């Protein structure tokens, strides 16, 4: 609990918010990119920070940053305990937002067999039933209807109800957290060329189309289904006519986004009762401990948390 008391005793000021940062997998690049990111002095005018992780891994941490020491016997245990402590800080009103460094689902699942990821864990901890992974970079904001599921299972999960829920949550998040008064939302099709009028699959006609029409009937500006193969060539970047994009499955949305924005891409969880962000990359075990990790995505994650909290 090193450094926590000083944060608790200080008055909570709206202009001086507190951001909790979990270490992620202690054997990954999380500790390195956290320390590199928080070496940027400009952050300290925007918020106070509490890093949750083992003190032996954070010897280069700026002394202005609070540190909650986490001891562990395995990497999976350490990553999960760091996250558990963060949940307590949020629920206790000590932290206003959470930034999570990358962890390995496989490693954590060896310690906690039901663990499937940050997003699902936080949703359960805060009883948030309607959530989405939103990926943010520049003026791009993209969510995925099916998230982490095998590709063979995607078509059966693309239902009118699921697509409509994603459209509604995107609309609400863009208005309430990003301050966009009338969001314009692009909805991608599932099949090549958005199904070619049913020639290449009927999910676009039978499931996605009705969801878009229902969204329009309640005043949401949703457009689609749009062919995914050409969408990013013409509609990505700051000149895009869309404020949000909804992809049907993981790689459909993230492959093009990571190809263009990898260094600045942030994973934001829409639907939680607080702001949670995370770098969009993984643990990078192959370069951990070698001082080679690029902190750009962590810097972007902290900046977005400061902006939205």
DSSP codes of every residue in 257-308: HHHHHGGG-EEEEETSSSEEEEESS---GGGTTTT----HHHHHHHHHHHHH
pLDDT (0 to 100) of residue 51 = 98
DSSP assignments along 60-95, one per residue: TS-TTSEEE----SSHHHHHHHHHHHHHHHHHTTS-
* Averaged pLDDT, 199-211: 96
Between 108-117, 166-175, 223-232, 291-300, the lowest mean confidence (pLDDT) is in: 108-117
Q: In terms of Cα–Cα distance, which of 182, 258, 247 is closest to 220?
A: 182
Place of tokens 């940050």: 118
CA dihedral over 146, 233, 265, 308, signed as positive or negative: negative
Class of domain 129-271: alpha beta
* Averaged pLDDT, 3-30: 72
Residues in the chain: 309
DSSP single-letter state for residue 28: T
Place of tokens 């062919």: 227
Percent of the chain with pLDDT over 90: 83
Within this chain, domains 1-128+272-309 and 129-271 share the same CATH topology: yes
| Beta-carbon count within 10 A of 208 CB | 30
The per-residue pLDDT for range 251-263, each reduced to its tens digit, is 999 999 999 898 8
- Cβ–Cβ under 8 Å, residues 246 and 145: yes
Between 134-138, 147-151, 235-239, 284-288, the lowest mean confidence (pLDDT) is in: 235-239
pLDDT greater than 60 at residue 203: yes
Residue ranges of the domains in the chain?
1-128+272-309, 129-271
First to last CA, the chain: 23
The per-residue pLDDT for range 33-80, each reduced to its tens digit, is 999 999 998 899 899 999 999 999 999 999 999 999 999 999 999 999
pLDDT greater than 50 at residue 246: yes
**Measured over all CA atoms, what is the biggest interatomic distance in the chain, rounded to whole angstroms?**
65
234 confidence band (pLDDT: 50, 70, 90): confident
Q: How distant, in Å, are the alpha carbons of 72, 78, 87, 101 from that of 81? A: 8, 5, 10, 13
- Cβ–Cβ under 8 Å, residues 266 and 278: yes
Give the mean pLDDT of the chain.
Answer: 92
**pLDDT higher at 58 or 234:** 58
CATH architecture, domain defined by 1-128+272-309: 3-Layer(aba) Sandwich (3.40)
The model carries a pTM of 0.89
Distance of CA 187 to the CA centre of its chain: 19
112 confidence band (pLDDT: 50, 70, 90): confident
């Amino acid at each position: 609990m090193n450094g926590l008391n000083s944060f608790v005793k200080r008055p909570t000021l709206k202009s001086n918010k507190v951001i909790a940062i979990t270490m992620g997998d202690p054997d990954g690049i999380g500790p390195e990119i956290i320390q590199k990111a928080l070496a940027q002095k400009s952050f300290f005018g925007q918020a106070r920070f509490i890093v949750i992780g083992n003190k032996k891994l954070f010897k280069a941490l700026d002394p202005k940053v609070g540190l909650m020491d986490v001891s562990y016997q395995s990497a999976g245990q350490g990553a999960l305990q760091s996250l558990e402590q963060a949940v307590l800080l949020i629920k206790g009103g000590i932290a206003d937002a959470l930034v999570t460094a990358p962890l390995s689902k496989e490693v954590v699942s060896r310690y906690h067999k039901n663990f499937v990821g940050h997003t699902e864990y936080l949703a359960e901890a805060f009883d948030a039933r309607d959530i989405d992974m939103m990926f943010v970079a520049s003026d791009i904001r993209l969510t995925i209807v099916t998230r982490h599921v095998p590709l063979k299972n995607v078509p059966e999960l693309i239902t009118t109800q699921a697509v409509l829920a994603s459209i509604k949550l995107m609309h609400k998040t863009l208005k309430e957290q990003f301050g966009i008064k009338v969001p314009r939302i692009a909805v991608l099709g599932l099949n090549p060329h958005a199904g070619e009028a049913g020639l290449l699959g009927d999910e676009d006609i039978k499931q996605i189309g009705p969801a878009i029409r229902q969204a329009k009937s309640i005043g949401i500006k949703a457009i689609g289904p749009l062919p995914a193969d050409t969408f990013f060539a013409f509609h990505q970047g700051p000149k895009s006519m869309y404020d949000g994009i909804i992809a049907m499955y993981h790689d459909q949305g993230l492959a093009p986004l990571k190809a263009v924005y990898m260094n600045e891409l942030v994973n934001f969880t829409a639907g939680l009762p607080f702001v949670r962000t995370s770098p969009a990359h993984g643990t990078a075990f192959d370069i951990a401990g070698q001082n080679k990790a690029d902190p750009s995505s962590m810097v972007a994650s902290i900046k977005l948390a400061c902006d939205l909290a």
